[in-house]
Structures are given as C-alpha cells and as structure tokens.
Amino acid sequence: MKIIVSLFLFSIFNVTGCNVDQKKVSQKQTETETVLSKNILIVYLSRTNNTETVAKIIQKQVGGDLVELELVNPYPENYQAIVQQVDKENEDGFLPELKTKINDLENYDTVFLGFPTWDMQMPPPMKSFLSNNDLSGKTVIPFNTNAGYGVGSSFRTVEELCPNSTILEGYSTKGGIERDGILFVMEGEKLIEVKNQVATWLEKIGF
C-alpha cells in the first residue's frame, strides 16, 4: 500500500512539475514571438498572389507586420498592357506613386521585401518603395517569385537601393507564368515544397 501511495504521489508531482515547466517555456516563446513581431516588417508586391503566399508563410514563421504595396494608379488587368507599361517605366526610370505609406518605419529593424520578377528586374513599385523609404541600419531580406527565369537584376537592385542596410541571403521560387495563362500555383505539392524551403532558408539566415 505504501509503495502504491508513493508511486501515486510521485506521478502527480512529476506531471504537475512537467506542466509548470511547459507553461514557462510557452510563456517565454510567446514573449519572444511578441518581441520579434514588433520588429519585423514584411512588405510585398503581388499581382496574382504567388508572392503574397510566400509573404504569409514567412509571417507565420517569424511574426511581424504584413503590408502589401498598393498603387495610386493600379496597373491594367491585361497582361500585354502591363508588360508594355512596365517596359516603358523601366526605360524612363519612372517610379509609380504608392498609395501604401508606412509611418512607423523606425519601429522596425528587420524588413523582408517580396516581389515578383518583372521584365527581369525589380518591379517599379518596389523601386518606388525603396526610393521613398530609408532602410539604413536595418536588416533587409528579399524574396521573390518568377516564371522560371530567376530574379534577374532584382536582388542586385536591393543592394543598390539599400546601401546602408545589412542584406541577408534572399529566397526565390518559381511562381506563375502569366504569359501562358498560369496565374496562381501556390497550392498542393508546390505549397508544401515552398513551406519546407522557406523554413530551411529562414533557419539558415538565423530565424
């Protein structure tokens, strides 16, 4: 009987002790997540939601605030029309006006920048964002989706437009091929693949 009682007490003590420890750990995790969330900004541009999906995966893993870039004058829906307009904007160095304004940029020390490849470059609206917002002293991390032709000059442009930032290794994956009518691809196997790749990449760069 003595043995049974002490076993019973031992198991209660153990279970309770374990719960307390777990509580402490999860409380600590929540505190850490809150601190991280306060400092991370995820800014992205996305027309057919592939880059947006990557942005949301990143946010789920690191926390932070998610902001989509919107234009005062949105681009045309038609693919040929937007291609022509973007070509011209790149030729002229035109920077479209953004509707999105970030008033409390000083509160963030880490900024993820997400954009599709357009014309083998960084899309003009992201160039506008980086020209209007000084990211000096911050850690800047680019991510990208494209039709399979890669990031082009876009990641180099991040370095050029953020000369006083610490730029970490970016992430890029194949997204839609709007030219061929393939718009949103971030579902099923592809979504699982991207979630895994993003987790590995974030860990590699220190998150």
Residues 110, 128, 139, 146: which binds ligand FMN (CB under 6 A)? Answer: 146
Q: Does 127 bind ligand FMN (CB under 6 A)?
A: no
- What count of Cα atoms within 13 Å lies in the side-chain half-sphere of residue 139? 10
- C-alpha 152/C-alpha 169 separation (Å) is 15
- C-alpha 109/C-alpha 59 separation (Å) is 15
CB 51 within 8 A of CB 116: yes
Q: Does 170 bind ligand FMN (CB under 6 A)?
A: no
- C-alpha 137/C-alpha 115 separation (Å) is 22
Q: Does 109 bind ligand FMN (CB under 6 A)?
A: no
Nearer to ligand FMN, 36 or 174 (CB): 174
Closest CA to 105 of 146, 137, 134, 141: 134
Q: Does 48 bind ligand FMN (CB under 6 A)?
A: yes
Residues 42, 69, 86, 98: which binds ligand FMN (CB under 6 A)? Answer: 86
Q: Tell me the residue number closest to ligand FMN, measured at CB.
A: 175
Considering the complex, what minimum distance in angstroms separates the CB of residue 187 from ligand FMN?
Answer: 12
CB 178 within 8 A of CB 79: yes
- C-alpha 207/C-alpha 201 separation (Å) is 9
Residues 43, 46, 62, 89: which binds ligand FMN (CB under 6 A)? Answer: 46
Residues 110, 117, 139, 157: which binds ligand FMN (CB under 6 A)? Answer: 117
Q: Does 49 bind ligand FMN (CB under 6 A)?
A: yes
Binding site for ligand FMN (CB under 6 A): 46-52, 82-83, 86, 116-120, 145-149, 175-178
